[in-house]
C-alpha cells in the first residue's frame, strides 16, 4: 500500500490514479437493513456503519485522473482535516480551518453557511497554488475560514430495488444516521460548514 503525499500544485492527494480501479465486490440488499458486500470485511464500514466503496491504494501509479476522487484518501483527509492537495495538515487559525471553495456566493443568502462539503480543507501554500492551477477553480475560488465543520454523512451511489433488481439509481448525500445512508455505497465523507467567514489568500 503506497501512502504517499502529493506535491503542491501537481497532483492532489485525493485524486485517484489510473491504477486505482474500483474493486467491485458483489453488493447485496438486505431488506430492512441496507447494503452489504457478500464477502464483507470489517474495514468495509466506517464507525457509523456506512458501507464504503472499495478501491485499490496505488497512489502514484499510472496517470492521475483529475475528475476522480479516491474514496480512501478523501475520507482520510476529511476525517483528519488534512489538505486535499498535499495530504499535510490543513491550515487552522483562531478564525477556523481553511477551505478553498468554488465561488458560489449567489447560490443562497449567507452562502456558504450550511454547505455540505465533499472537498477536504487546504493548507495555505496549496490553496494559493490551487487558486491558480485548478481548472475548476481558476479565477473563481474563494477562501473561507470555518469554525464548525461537523461530519454530516456520506456521498455516494444510491441503490434501490431488491434481489436481482438491486441497482444504483444515481448519487445521493445522506446523514450518517439516516436510514437512506444504509442504501448508499459511500464514496466521500461529507462535512457541513458553519460559522464561516471569508478570508483572503493575499497573505
Ligand atoms: Zn497542502
- At 105, phi and psi to the nearest 5? -60, -20
Name the band, by pLDDT with cuts 50, 70 and 90, for residue 60.
confident
Name the band, by pLDDT with cuts 50, 70 and 90, for residue 134.
low
Q: What pLDDT is recorded for position 139? A: 64
Q: Is residue 38 part of a domain?
A: yes
Could you give the angle at the alpha carbon of 138 between the alpha carbons of 132 and 141, nearest 5°? Answer: 100
Q: How far is the CA of 126 from the centre of ligand 1 (A)?
A: 4
Q: How far is the CA of 12 from the centre of ligand 1 (A)?
A: 9
Q: Is residue 2 part of a domain?
A: no
Q: How far is the CA of 174 from the centre of ligand 1 (A)?
A: 28
Q: How far is the CA of 74 from the centre of ligand 1 (A)?
A: 14
Q: How far is the CA of 121 from the centre of ligand 1 (A)?
A: 9
Average pLDDT over residues 170-184: 95
Q: What pLDDT is recorded for position 114? A: 97
Q: What pLDDT is recorded for position 137? A: 66
- Structural domain for 71, as ranges: 15-152+190-198
Average pLDDT over residues 158-185: 93
Task: Tell me how many domains the chain contains.
Answer: 2
* Domain match, 85 and 62 both: yes
Q: Is residue 165 part of a domain?
A: yes
Q: Is residue 130 part of a domain?
A: yes
Give the predicted TM-score (pTM) of the model.
0.87
Q: What pLDDT is recorded for position 164? A: 85
Q: Is residue 126 part of a domain?
A: yes
- At 140, phi and psi to the nearest 5? -140, 35
Q: How far is the CA of 128 from the centre of ligand 1 (A)?
A: 9
User: Which residue in this structure is represented by grid cell 457541513?
Assistant: 192
Q: How far is the CA of 61 from the centre of ligand 1 (A)?
A: 21
Higher-pLDDT residue of 70 and 25 is 70
Q: What pLDDT is recorded for position 5? A: 47
pLDDT at 99 over 60: yes
% of the chain beyond a pLDDT of 70:
91
Higher-pLDDT residue of 19 and 170 is 170
Choose among 170, 88, 79: nearest CA to 117.
79
Higher-pLDDT residue of 165 and 120 is 120
* Domain match, 34 and 130 both: yes
Ligand 1 (ion): residues with CB under 5 Å are 83, 85-86, 123, 126
Amino acid at each position: 500500500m503506497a501512502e504517499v503525499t502529493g506535491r503542491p500544485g501537481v497532483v492532489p492527494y485525493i485524486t485517484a490514479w489510473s491504477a486505482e480501479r474500483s474493486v467491485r465486490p458483489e453488493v447485496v440488499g438486505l431488506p430492512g437493513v441496507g447494503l452489504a458486500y457478500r464477502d464483507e470485511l470489517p474495514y468495509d464500514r466506517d464507525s457509523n456503519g456506512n458501507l464504503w466503496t472499495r478501491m485499490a491504494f496505488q497512489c502514484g501509479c499510472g496517470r492521475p485522473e483529475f475528475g476522480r476522487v479516491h474514496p480512501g484518501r478523501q475520507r482520510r483527509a476529511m476525517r483528519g482535516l488534512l489538505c486535499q492537495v498535499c495530504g499535510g495538515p490543513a491550515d487552522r487559525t483562531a478564525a477556523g480551518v481553511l477551505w478553498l471553495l468554488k465561488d458560489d456566493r449567489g447560490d443562497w443568502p449567507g452562502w456558504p453557511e450550511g454547505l455540505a462539503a465533499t472537498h477536504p480543507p487546504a493548507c495555505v501554500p496549496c490553496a494559493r497554488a490551487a487558486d491558480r492551477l485548478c481548472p475548476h477553480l481558476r479565477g473563481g475560488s474563494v477562501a473561507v475560514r470555518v469554525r464548525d465543520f461537523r461530519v454530516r454523512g456520506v456521498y455516494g451511489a444510491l441503490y434501490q430495488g431488491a434481489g436481482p433488481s438491486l441497482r444504483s439509481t444515481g448519487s445521493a448525500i445522506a446523514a450518517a444516521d439516516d436510514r437512506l445512508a444504509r442504501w448508499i455505497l459511500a464514496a466521500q465523507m461529507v462535512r457541513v460548514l458553519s460559522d464561516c467567514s471569508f478570508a483572503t489568500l493575499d497573505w
